[in-house]
Amino acid sequence: MGVYVVTGSASGMGRAVVEKLRQRGHTVVGIDQRDAEIVADLSTSRGRRAAIAGTLAAVDGHLDGAVLAAGVGPAPGAERPRLIYEVNYRGVVELLDGWRPALAAAAEAKVVVFGSNATTTTPAVPARAIRALLAEDIDKAVKTVRIFGRTAPAIAYGASKIAVSRWVRRHAVTAEWAGAGIRLNLLAPGAILTPLLEKQLATPAEAAAIRRFPVPIGGFGNAGDLAEWAVFMLSDAARFLCGSVVFVDGGSDAYFRADDWPRAVPLRRLPGYLRRFRSSGVG
């Protein structure tokens, strides 16, 4: 049986993951703002440090896996973009950095980060905001989305999830992660009926937009189904999964972006591709 840590354990998909892991006999340390083994506010550096230290102490420096499900949605408000960046981006990458030695101590640890199909279906997310996040410049990322006015939180949400996806994919393949036996992957849900989505549906304007959003199979997903995907991605059967983004979204990503991916490396990027090919040192 394994030892796991789950952020966002008090609600929605994080909570469903905790239940499924415990049903299978695993030990789980939950982290949330309330109703969790470790109560910490992941929107602050102090809270994130407490979450890292509390986890390492609780698991005695050994983690078989982690699920990072804590997140905030694109609710209205001028302060929302900063909160989104702090929780959805910093609340993932700082924790993963802090937990990496404990994950490397396991034989084959697995990490599932909750991304979103907002990464590929939110239009006009500025590249500058994503770059600023990856460069750890939250102030700049906040400024960059200000011009979007009332839609700034939705743009910031898309930017936070793209940046965290890129961070995961860049790190997943490195000596520190893949080379240390850690599998790092993303689960990208579409609209899943959890308290996060219910809050959005309670606002008439947001509800209308959400209900109009194209979902080829129709309706919303449910937390239990997504938790099954996360638990599968933590299992031995997922040992060959590395740096992947698994979309579970009823078809919305394919509906909007069918021809964008997979795509061959364009000729102009061949020199860079060959450079990486020759210097990989893996395989």
165 belongs to the binding site for ligand NAI (CB under 6 A): no
Decide whether 157 or 177 has the Cβ nearer to ligand NAI. Answer: 157
Question: Is residue 81 involved in binding ligand NAI (CB under 6 A)?
Answer: no
- Count residues near ligand NAI (CB under 6 A): 25
Rounded CA gap, 64 and 52, in Å? Answer: 15
Query: Which residues are the active-site residues?
Result: 157
Question: Using the rule CB under 6 A, is 21 a contact of ligand NAI?
Answer: no
CB 278, min distance to ligand NAI, A? 37
**Is residue 12 part of the contact set for ligand NAI (CB under 6 A)?**
yes
d(CA 109, CA 4): 9
Q: How far apart are CA 189 and CA 186, in angstroms?
A: 10
**Using rule CB under 6 A, residue 216 touches ligand NAI:** no
Going from the C-alpha of 142 to that of each of 44, 75, 80, 85, 167, the distances in angstroms are 16, 15, 9, 8, 19
Q: Strand pairing of 245-248 and 183-189?
A: parallel
Q: Which two tokens stand for residue 177?
A: 């992660």
- All residues at 6 or more sequence positions from 137 whose CB lies less than 8 Å from its CB, including other chains: none
Pick the binder of ligand NAI from 2, 8, 74, 243 (CB under 6 A): 8
Applying CB under 6 A, does 96 fall inside the site for ligand NAI? no
Of 77, 195, 214, 224, the one binding ligand NAI (CB under 6 A) is: 195
- Give Dmax (Cα) for the chain: 54
Q: Is 224 in the site for ligand NAI (CB under 6 A)?
A: no
Site string for ligand NAI, 50-79 (x = CB under 6 A): -------------------xxxx-------
| Cβ–Cβ < 8 Å for 96, 169 | no
Question: Residue 267 CB, nearest distance to ligand NAI (Å)?
Answer: 35
Q: Which of 196, 171, 184 is nearest to 242 (CA)?
A: 184
**Minimum CB distance to ligand NAI, residue 272 (Å):** 31
14 binds ligand NAI (CB under 6 A): yes
The whole-angstrom distance between residue 118's C-alpha and the CA centroid of its chain comes to 11
Residues whose CB is less than 8 angstroms from the CB of residue 186 and which lie 6 or more positions away in sequence, other chains included: 112, 113, 114, 115, 164, 165, 168, 169, 244, 245, 246
Pick 116 or 120: Cβ nearer ligand NAI: 116
Residue 124: CB minimum distance to ligand NAI, A = 19
Output 106 or 133, the one with its CB closest to ligand NAI.
133
Contact residues for ligand NAI, defined by CB under 6 A: 8, 10-14, 32-33, 41-43, 69-72, 87, 114, 116, 189, 191-192, 194-197
